Amino acid sequence: MRPKSNRSLLFVEKHYLLLLAPLLIFVAAIAIYPLFFSFYISFFKYRLTDPNQTRTFLGIAHYILAIHDKTVITAIRNTLVFVAGTVVIELLLGLGLALLFAGEGRWMRALRSWLIIPMALPSLVVGLVWKSLYNVDFGVIPYYFKQFGITMGRGPLGEIKWAMPSVILIDIWQWTPLVMIIFLAGLKSLPHDPYEAARVDGANRWQSFWHITLPLLKPSILIVLLLRTMQGFKVFDIIYATTSGGPGTATTVLNFHIYTVGMVFFKMGYAAALANILLIIVAALAILYIIVLERQQI
Amino acid sequence: MKQRNYLVMLLIISILFVGLLAACNAPASPTTQPPKGEAPAAQPTEKPPAAPKPAEKPFAGTELTLASMTDQYVTAFKYLIPKFEEETGIKVTLDELGYVDLYQKLTADFVAHTGNYDLMTMDIVWSGEYAQNKYTLPLDDLMARDKDQLQMDDIMPVAWTLGEWDGKHWAYPLAGYANVLNYRKDVLSEAGLEPPKTQEQLHEYAKKLTKPDEDFYGIALLGAKGPAVAQDYMVWVQQYGSSILDADGNVAINTPKNVEILKAFGDLFQYAPPGATDYWWDQRETAFRSGKVAMMEGWSIARAGYENPEISSVVGKVAIALAPVAEGVEPKYGFGGWGIGINADSKNAEAAWEFIKWLSSPEIQKEWIRHDGAPIRRSTLEDPDLNQEYPWFPILLEAFDKGDGDYRPRIPQYSIIQDALGTTVNAYLVGEMGAQEALDQAQAQVEETMK
């Protein structure tokens, strides 16, 4: 009896491997190899445009340089502000919208599909459209503010203290619908029994939201946090299209700085080192999220 | 339970890694990308010519690809290429690209030696970089061989800076731009002013003409972070008789003189539209064309567009003058524009050279001008017919004669200087840094990055 089941298990396993092979090869070539290559190249001084393609070994010099690089420190700070701003507001707003549009009426469905449109647009286009909306001399937004007697100085993207909130607003406009959809899916899959029990026990709507809905939505919250944090750290296209990291360095996020080092200066080694630092920050945050949320569940 | 949690965590982290890679490894991608262009580039040589070659069409059937910046002159390319194809039997495919895309696509093509593009428009400031890395073919041998057909004496001396580096020619002059002052005739004469001759007058007039209540301003400037503000600041450095490099060619950004110039440049922004610290070239153009400002310094190639009612609401109200320099500074005028180079990896260099020769010939140059091209030849600028159509050509001729093609250092590390200035000058304009601090930081950043 035993040998037989072992053999069939082996057969099944082999089968799995065979079926997985194309995907594994693909992932190895597209993801694993570049990852290791970027770790490898970060230890070298390597200018992409060098005609001789010389690579000089530097050890961890690039990582030490990064810690002392003023622009990198500013960029990391800006990135954290961007991530905190977008993730918190999108989470709250997305949850609110999901609760608002959880109904199943005809209008609800129509409205929901309208709300999803921003998500379907390429970020670069969204950035360019918002840039022209924000333009203080020709744009629509400052024009209406002016009608109400509010002048916007150098404009939302031109003032140091307003540039980051303005960029965050673009991200919120575009990505809150995604958060809403995730929460909608979470809400739809909630069991009915606890609510009925709560009603019998005399809980009001707020109490059942706070004590039933929210705890049960924890997996959805985790997904939203992970997804939006990752994407927030990766933000590039909106910044590229609107401010190029300006004014000054007010919206220079880490990924934009990596782009400058890699694709303007072509210093591949340093760019790879910075990209790896970004990766480490995000991975550390992700683990933290998971630990905190999982622990609460138990 | 614990083990399950561990597995979930592992799964999420691995998804996270894969997801992040797309962003993190973007800089490395050109090296890992397969050389995508090899097949198409090899095609033309293998392909038999469609028709038997007539003796006068030695390159009939050859296919060239031209990468062009989407500047005004792209209209002229579109008009002239069919003529060239008819005359020579060479087929030219035009690929229009924006400034940043062009630079990056060309770099990828050069670094991977794919030879996708046979011909490319090359910004004057790329000269040093292209020469150092030998991206384009030095044209000197071809020029020496065909010197009888080229009439090179007729090309304005300053136009050679569009591609000359270290005594060799890495691109041939294509389109020369001079920095000129555009001004509103109606506005200035109403205020009883002549166009400013000096920077001091420019300041004074800009101040006088600014009326924020009427949403009208003295001058439009480039203030946006990046190449825009860096290049406009360098124009002012030149106009005050200073420079970015010292006499020995070393980077000397934070000199006391340059700090003074930065303050003067910053002062002008009081008389510019409030959004000017965020202006890129197109917004500056919009400000001038929509009649929001009285004066604007800019490239001469845009001049003809102000008379086009489809894109301009100031038709007939604009004139140009030589760009004002500071008092006591010997007049020199910023010169820029584009050269046209041949890819060092091109398999059709001879046919590509044929295109350059044809395009730069005096007869074709007239057509080139009439379809939004820009001049490189003295004979074009002095041509009576063209002077009739473009009455501002004498000013251009003088600006070209005293042109300075090196006010933006054309050294291989130009992009580093531009990026550093692009950040710190903008930071000064919006009040994030002081003038001295801004230039000190730019200097330090350039020195650090050049290592």
Taking 60 as the threshold, does the pLDDT of residue A297 lie above it?
A: no
Residue B340 binned pLDDT confidence (cut-offs 50, 70, 90): very high
Residue A140 binned pLDDT confidence (cut-offs 50, 70, 90): very high
Taking 70 as the threshold, does the pLDDT of residue A296 lie above it?
A: no
Taking 60 as the threshold, does the pLDDT of residue B21 lie above it?
A: no
Q: Nearest chain B Cα to A286, which residue?
A: B13
Mean pLDDT of B289-306: 92
Q: How far is A164 from chain B (nearest CA, A)?
A: 14
- Answer whether A213 touches B (CB < 8 Å): no
Say what the pLDDT of residue B58 is.
87
Mean pLDDT of B357-375: 94
Q: What's the sign of the alpha-carbon dihedral B191, B193, B196, B201?
A: negative
Mean pLDDT of A259-283: 92
Say what the pLDDT of residue B8 is.
55
Q: Nearest chain A Cα to B29, which residue?
A: A34
Q: Which residues of A touch B214 (CB under 8 A)?
A: none
- Answer whether B5 touches A (CB < 8 Å): yes
Minimum mean pLDDT among A209-223, B43-57, B150-164, B289-303: which range? B43-57
Q: Do B111 and A49 touch (CB under 8 A)?
A: yes
Say what the pLDDT of residue B428 is.
96
- Answer whether A230 touches B (CB < 8 Å): yes
Interface of A with B in 76-95 (CB under 8 A): none
Contact in structure between B16 and A226 (CB atoms under 8 Å): yes
Taking 60 as the threshold, does the pLDDT of residue B3 lie above it?
A: no
Q: Do A230 and B287 touch (CB under 8 A)?
A: no
Closest CA to B183 of B336, B382, B395, B403: B395
Say what the pLDDT of residue B25 is.
41
Taking 70 as the threshold, does the pLDDT of residue B41 lie above it?
A: no
Same topology between domain B59-177+336-404 and domain B178-335+407-450: yes
The tens digit of pLDDT for each residue in B392-415 reads 999 999 999 999 999 999 999 998
Mean pLDDT of A150-162: 88
Instruction: Pick A161 or B54 by higher pLDDT.
Output: A161
Q: What CATH number labels B178-335+407-450? A: 3.40.190.10
The tens digit of pLDDT for each residue in B53-108 reads 445 788 888 999 999 999 999 999 999 999 999 999 999 999 999 888 899 899 99
Say what the pLDDT of residue B14 is.
54
Tokens for B101, please give them.
């895309």
Q: What CATH number labels B59-177+336-404? A: 3.40.190.10
Q: What's the sign of the alpha-carbon dihedral B320, B325, B329, B334?
A: negative
Say what the pLDDT of residue A237 is.
94
Test mutation, A27, A41, A42, A49, chain B, max B CBs within 10 A: A49
Instruction: Pick A173 or B18 by higher pLDDT.
Output: A173
ipTM over 0.90: no
Tokens for B327, please give them.
């008092």
User: Domains of chain B: which residue ranges?
Assistant: 59-177+336-404, 178-335+407-450
Say what the pLDDT of residue A104 is.
79
Q: Nearest chain A Cα to B133, which residue?
A: A51
Share the mean pLDDT of chain B: 88
Report the helix count and the strand count for chain A, using DSSP H and E: 16, 2
Q: Which residues of B touch A136 (CB under 8 A)?
A: 273-275, 278
Minimum mean pLDDT among A75-89, B19-33, B108-122, B196-210: which range? B19-33
- Answer whether A258 touches B (CB < 8 Å): yes
Q: Do A244 and B225 touch (CB under 8 A)?
A: yes
Q: How far is A136 from chain B (nearest CA, A)?
A: 5
Q: What is the set of domains in chain A, with CATH numbers?
A: 50-297 (1.10.3720.10)
Q: What's the sign of the alpha-carbon dihedral A65, A69, A75, A80?
A: positive
* Rounded Cα gap, residues B32 and B26, in angstroms: 10
Q: Do A154 and B430 touch (CB under 8 A)?
A: yes
The CA dihedral of A225, A230, A231, A236, to the nearest 10 degrees, is 150
